[in-house]
Every structure is written in C-alpha cells, then in structure tokens.
Chains A and B, each alone.
Chain A
C-alpha cells in the first residue's frame, strides 16, 4: 500500500471513531436532559381533552359512614354523589366541581407548599383554630352552580360562628341557618340574604334563596331528583357543565362590554382543568349559532395572539410561550374549543420557587425573579 492509502485508511478509522464517540456524547446529553427534566426534552402540554385514559385523582378526606345511631345515618350514603346531587338542579343550569383535596395533593401544589408552606400554614392554623377544620386537609370538594355553593369534607369538628344563631332542622341531619348581612350593608339591616346548611356533618350548602337551598338538601339526601353529570373522557381536578343560567349568573353584575357580549351569545359549556405538573384548562364553549361561535373563537384567538405579541415584545418569554400553546378550535356544530395551560415551572417561578419546590431566594447566586429562566416547555 502506498502512503495515500494509509492516509485514507487512517481517516476511515478516525471518522468511525468520531461517529461512535459523538453518538455516545449525544446519548449522554439526552440521558442528562431526561434526568434534569424528568421527561423528554420539549415535552408538550397535554390538555384535559387529550387525556382520554386519565381519570381525576380523588383524594377524598370524607371518612367512611359511621355506625347508625337509632337507625338514622349521620351521613348521606355517598358523600361524593351527595355534593353532585346538591349542586346539580334539574333545570339544566349545570355546575362546576373543584377537587380541592386532589389539587392539594397534586405535585405542583405539593411543591408550592414545600416552598411557601410556612406562610400558608400560618393562616391555615388560625383558620383551624376559629373554624375547627383544617382547610388543607378537611376540605374535599367544592361545587358551584347558579343556585348554590356547596363544599364537602370532614366537618365533625366544625365550629360555626355564634352569629349564625339557632339552626332550623329541615331534615334528618340537615340544619339550615339564616345569615344576615352586617348592619348597614344591605337594603335593610335585619333582612336575611343568605342561607347556609350543614348536611350530615359532611356537606355545607349555601345560597341566596331558601327554597333553592332546601331543594339542594333534598337532592343531597336523595329525596329529590338531580340532573346527572356526564363528561366524556378525562374530567380533571376542576370540571363541570354550565348552562345559560350559570353564564348569566356569572356575568350578572358585569359592566364590561366583552362580558355582556359573552352573556348574550354563550349558551353553555364544558370545563375541564387538570392540576398536575402543570395546570391545563380545556373549555368547550357553545354559542347561539355557528357564525357566533366562529366570531367568538376568532376574537379570543386574536386576543391571545395580541397578548402573546405584547409579552414577547416586553421580554416576558415565558408568558409568550404559554400563550403560544393556547389553542382555539372552532367546530362546525356551533361550539369552539379553548385549551390553555400554565407550566408548573412558571407558576413556581411566579412564587419564587425553583422547579423542585425550593425557594429561589435561598439558593445562592440565583435570582428569584419570575422570569429568571425559561422552561423548556
């Protein structure tokens, strides 16, 4: 072999060696990136509507039913269903449910509590002393409808304020309180404006209308029919169906033209929100007709686009990234879908915490600004 052949052979060996070495370098880089991020680089947002096989994570604090005393059960047979039934009147108004305990035990909130728990726990301890329950542990779920606001949980130790007065026992295990406005704040000082009911020591129901609260108690205890709640696919930690009445009630006092327009054109919708490593919201909005849905979708998407441009222009890259992932999807049936998510890292940074839930200001040399570094979402 002449010299040039040796040279070519040497280059061949060198290139093969380089290919192997660089390939292994890339493998190592990817492994390191996976370890650092806990997932593939550039993991996309998964919206609730895409989580077909994911069911909501109930971490219910409601204890099992205690033995019956004198044949009368102290709790309704199924506290979860009781809350649903209480909130869902048979008028099609719908309700929104919040899995408080599931959210409390979600990875993102765990990190938040690890990071800023001391401040939060201080307030909670005070509340527990006053009310007898720990909001972080004893609250289970919340439901909001156009008629009532309901909370389920473990209320055996609940200390109701003396100002509520003597309750009216409206049914077995169900006490109804009249709550008066503070003097001078209402049209007439003594006029009752709110009703609060404690049902089976596991359910609190509040509302402005006594009849509606009483009806909710009846539905919760199974004496009246309730609207069934059916949501296809994943429900998430916050979910629910709302009707026109709910929308109307939601925007009842609003004077903003956009809110008034929404009240006019939105028929109802489906809400699903997951709280996991990230917070993601999927909305299905039903408008009065297809054209309106289309226009509304364009308006919302345009607003997102404008906000994103503004965020990018002002250097708020994380907000721009967040809005970039938002989706507005008009459909042929007069509805449109809206998906938006907030990466957990962004929320944590907003609270001055790093992605592992450590306070940023305790880490030497690292800024505690909410825009200190961008996530790789």
Chain B
C-alpha cells in the first residue's frame, strides 16, 4: 500500500511539472495534427494513397493497409524507443533529485515509509509516467489510424513493452546515480551513457572486436557483460510490430536480461540509500 502511495504520489507530482505536462500536450497536439492532416485513402483493403496537409506522399507503395500499418509501426518503434528513452531520461532526471533534495528527503524519511519503499516507489512512479506517455502516444496513434483505416492492430503493444523495459533499465541506473550524487545532469548523463553503450554493445562480438585482444578486451567484456542490449531490444520490438514474429517467445531471454539489469539497478539504489545519512 505504501509502495503504491509513493508511486502514485511521484506520478502525481511529475504530472504537475510543467515540462512533463508539456510532453503530454505535445503528444496530444502531434496526434491531433496527424488526425487532421493525414489523409489515408483505403481502397479494397489497400492503402492506395497517403496525403499529408493535402500533398500526396510520393514513394509510398500501394500495399495492404494492415501491412502498411505494421510497417509504419515497425519504423516508429525505433523512433519511439530511442526518442522516447532519451526524452524519458531528460524528463525524469529531476524527479528523484527533487525527492532527495535537502529539506525534502528528511520529511519523507520521517514518514512511515521504508527507504526501500521510497526507492522502489519512486522507480515505479517514473515507470507509471512512462507508461502513461507511451499509452498516450502509441495508443493515441493506434486510435487515429484505426479511425482512418478501420484496421485494428496489436502490433504497437509489443513495441511499447520493449520500450518501457528499455527505459526501466536506463532509469534504474539514473536512480542509482542520483542515490550516489544528487545531480540531475549526472543522472541524465549516466542514463544516456548507459543507453548509448548498451546500444553500441548490443552485438557483443562486433563491439569487442573494436578493442585490442588481450586484457583490454577482457576488461571491456566484463564491464559490458550485464549491460542491456538496447538495440536488439528495439529491433525485437520493431520485428514484433512489423511481422508479429518472435514475440514474446524468442525475445524472453533479451527481455529477461534487460529486466534483471533494471532490478539490479534498483537493488543497488536501495543498497546505497539504505544506509545513507541525509
């Protein structure tokens, strides 16, 4: 109950922030623009023509409309995944920092809340906001496209789950960084760094081949061993969105690995905050 209260309070407070509110407004405006400006001509189950602001989009093949939507979502997954995670990193960097601010954290810790509950609740609260933003973006877009094409597709769901788990892993490290040093810049830099490194090291063999064979490569291998394979996660989401393939069966180890990394990050943050003096 306390955990839920902390998470909901974190979410309420975040939603009251102008920056996060602006993100939701931007999502809404974007969807409204798409709804008003995008004209999809569906003929005999195919997407015969697409117009944006009345201008026909050239280079768009006539393909079955459900295939077109899945292809669109396949592309959007990368957009949502990387942009969403980066936006999430920037938007959420202040949340834990503000909770741990001098004059605020003392009050929170004097309340009947365990430190672990505070950390996990904060983490879940931020994930709730991410979930809301994803639901607003992906769900809204699905609704707009359903309205325009009358095609229902569950494709974006897998992508949304991949994105959320990816962000969860990144945010856990940000939470750990904030627990160690209360700085939004450091939290953002850590989050982006882990995202970039995880994405670059997705294909471990190729990544490690960039380093000299010997102890340097071995050290890098150990350092990146637990890192989530972010690019593979985005790829799995895209493939699931595009062709409904490999989800969740084939992706379970990948999702599990990313989830385990996220939990390790949260456990580390609990460990650090658990005995810290404020």
Contacts and interface: CB of A to CB of B under 8 A. Distances in A.
B26 to A, nearest CB: 33
A308 interface: yes
Contact of A15 (B59, B64, B239, B263): B263
Interface string B255-278: 011101101100110110011000
Which among B62, B232, B260 has the greatest number of chain A C-beta atoms within 10 A? Answer: B62
Contacts of A33: 250
A301 B48 contact: yes
A329 B59 contact: yes
Contacts of B232: 26, 30
Given A11-B267, A328-B61, A23 B226 contact: yes
A124 interface: no
A139 B63 CA distance: 38
Contacts of B268: 12
A228 interface: no
B21 interface: no
Contacts of B227: 23
B271 A297 contact: no
A292 to B, nearest CB: 15
Nearest to A1: B275
A288 B177 CA distance: 66
A376 B256 contact: no
Contacts of A300: 62
Contacts of A29: 250, 253
Nearest to B70: A324
B226 A302 contact: no
Contacts of A339: 61
Given A8-B270, A27-B204, A330 B62 contact: yes
A36 to B, nearest CB: 12
Interface residues of A, number: 44
A324 B64 contact: yes
Interface in B201-252: 204, 225-229, 232, 239, 243, 245-246, 250
Interface in A282-318: 297-298, 300-302, 304-306, 308-309
A328 B261 contact: no
Which among A23, A33, A329 has the greatest number of chain B C-beta atoms within 10 A? Answer: A23
Contacts of B60: 329
A201 B263 CA distance: 76
Interface residues of B, number: 41
Interface in A322-360: 324, 326-332, 337, 339
Nearest to A5: B274
A129 interface: no
A297 to B, nearest CB: 6
Contacts of A16: 226, 260-261, 264
A252 interface: no
A99 to B, nearest CB: 27
B43 interface: yes
Interface in A23-37: 23, 25-27, 29-30, 33
Contacts of B229: 23, 26
A120 interface: no
A8 B253 contact: no
A331 B43 contact: no
Interface of B: 43-46, 48, 58-64, 67, 116, 204, 225-229, 232, 239, 243, 245-246, 250, 253-254, 256-258, 260-261, 263-264, 267-268, 270-271, 274-275
29 contacts: A4-B274, A5-B275, A12-B264, A12-B267, A12-B271, A15-B263, A16-B260, A19-B260, A20-B225, A21-B257, A23-B225, A23-B228, A23-B253, A30-B232, A42-B243, A42-B245, A297-B62, A298-B43, A300-B62, A301-B46, A301-B61, A301-B62, A304-B64, A305-B45, A305-B64, A306-B45, A324-B63, A324-B64, A329-B60
Q: Which 4 A-B pairs have the closest CB atoms?
A: A302-B44, A15-B264, A301-B62, A22-B257
